[in-house]
């Protein structure tokens, strides 16, 4: 029978890190005037990274809230284009974040955006790793993870539906979607094999289409 007791002990430095992470989350959660969007962009992005679960598509509405504002200056077209190009480049889907940072402040912005999104959540993972064994043995944690997986699935479904609503009903897009669904559902191909195939076909289509 699994133990229901869970004892956690933190050093002083751990509490300081947790306090900083909580401050980032508060900056992201509080409704601030738009004049602070640029000044607090990276701390708010760090707070957003602490609240994102489920990968790139679940981050879509959050990142849009942060970057597509009159103060930041990234348009909806640039935002949609970045998310469209990200899956056909190496790395996780959230490699789109350095691109947004580059649009805001060049190469320094790309570096700051990457650090802001990934470092705070990485710190939380390191802190949790010390108590991972106890967490696995705690039934409440297990039930919480099940709920979290269900919520994450719902977020992903909403993100996919929002993207699908903006895709034109043209044969090439429908064929691409059908091909991807077959690969993931039936063939169980690695995700990068699907992305690579779609990227090669799109490149050939653009090359020969331009000549025609």
pLDDT in tens, the chain (212 residues): 445 555 566 667 777 877 888 888 888 888 878 788 888 888 888 888 887 776 666 778 888 888 888 888 888 888 888 877 777 666 666 778 888 888 888 888 888 888 888 888 888 777 777 666 666 676 777 777 788 778 877 877 777 777 777 777 777 777 777 777 777 666 676 766 777 777 777 777 777 765 55
| CA dist., res. 166 & res. 22, Å (int) | 35
| CA dist., res. 28 & res. 106, Å (int) | 23
| CA dist., res. 169 & res. 185, Å (int) | 22
Sequence-distant (≥ 6) Cβ neighbours of residue 72 within 8 angstroms: 37, 38, 41, 66, 104
pTM of the model: 0.56
| CA dist., res. 6 & res. 11, Å (int) | 17
Alpha-carbon separation of residue 49 from 21, 128, 178 (angstroms): 10, 16, 32
């Amino acid at each position: 029978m699994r133990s229901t007791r869970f004892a956690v002990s933190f050093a002083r430095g751990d509490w300081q890190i947790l306090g900083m992470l909580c401050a980032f989350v508060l900056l992201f959660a509080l409704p601030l005037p738009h004049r602070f969007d640029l000044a607090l962009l990276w701390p708010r992005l760090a707070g957003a990274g602490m609240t994102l679960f489920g990968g790139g598509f679940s981050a879509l509405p959050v990142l849009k809230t942060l970057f597509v504002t009159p103060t930041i200056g990234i348009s909806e077209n640039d935002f949609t284009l970045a998310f469209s190009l990200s899956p056909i480049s190496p790395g996780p889907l959230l490699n789109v974040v350095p691109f947004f940072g580059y649009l805001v402040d060049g190469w320094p912005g790309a570096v700051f955006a990457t650090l802001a999104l990934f470092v705070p959540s990485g710190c939380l993972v390191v802190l949790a790793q010390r108590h991972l064994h106890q967490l696995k043995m705690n039934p409440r944690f297990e039930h919480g993870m099940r709920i979290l997986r269900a919520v994450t699935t719902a977020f992903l479904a909403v993100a996919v539906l929002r993207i699908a609503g903006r895709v034109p009903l043209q044969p090439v897009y429908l064929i691409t979607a059908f091909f991807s669904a077959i690969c993931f559902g039936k063939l169980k191909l690695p995700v990068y094999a699907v992305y690579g195939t779609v990227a090669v076909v799109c490149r050939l289509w653009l090359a020969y289409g331009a000549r025609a």
